[in-house]
Chain A
Amino acid sequence: EVQLVESGGGLVQPGGSLRLSCSASAFSISNYAMDWVRQAPGKGLEFVAAITENRGSTYYADSVRGRFTISTDNSRNTLYLQMSSLRPDDTALYYCVQDMRNWGQGTLVTVSS
């Protein structure tokens, strides 16, 4: 059974940085496109970033482009999201998603002073 476990969330001050990780099991992330999707408290789903299966392309929502970077470590079967210049409106539950199909349980990021 596909399993995605996110980690790395927490409380960070505005302007700070954080790196989220997503450990995958029961499949090889090198064979799939991988995505990050977030959900602010009480709000809907918002695409954040994606990386293609051949790792040739990355895509970002306008709201995070230039501040967030998506990457993978195939040897660790892990997806990452490096977040910098964080703002209060980045506060959300961040989900790791396999090819827009299977979802992790999410990791909470809170940006506040």
Chain B
Amino acid sequence: QSVVTQPPSVSGTPGQRVTISCFGSSSNIGKNALNWYQQLPGAAPKLVMYRNDQRPLGVPDRFSGSKSGASASLAISGLQSEDEADYYCAVWDDSLDFVVFGGGTKLTVL
């Protein structure tokens, strides 16, 4: 059981907007900046959001991030089939003294 939790799966149709949530506590999300990673099937993870809401170069502006208190979310608008992947949040935990990952959310584009 991870200290940071995500829904196991979300789905949407092309063009739709979906949100993936990440719930933590005051020792992790409530205190530190969070990253989001996209992992396509058979590939290494790729950073799609850092410091809660900063998009790396090359990541479409359809991706946006936010954080409030001890929870965070990644939103993907104008959903495309190429967005189908596993998404993970990651954040430093001050109590554990290491990075914790959410369990991952599988995004299915119907």
Which residues of A come within 8 Å of B, CB atoms?
Answer: 35, 37, 44-47, 50, 59-62, 95, 100-106
Contact = CB atoms under 8 A, between A and B. Distances in A.
13 contacts: A44-B2, A44-B88, A45-B88, A45-B101, A47-B98, A100-B35, A100-B47, A100-B90, A101-B56, A103-B47, A104-B44, A105-B44, A106-B44
Given A100-B90, A101-B47, 10 more contacts: A37-B99, A44-B101, A45-B104, A47-B101, A50-B99, A59-B98, A60-B98, A62-B96, A95-B44, A101-B50
Nearest to A6: B44
A101 B47 CA distance: 6
Interface in B77-110: 86, 88, 90, 96-104
Contact of B45 (A59, A62, A103): A103
Contacts of B101: 37, 44-47
Contacts of A46: 101
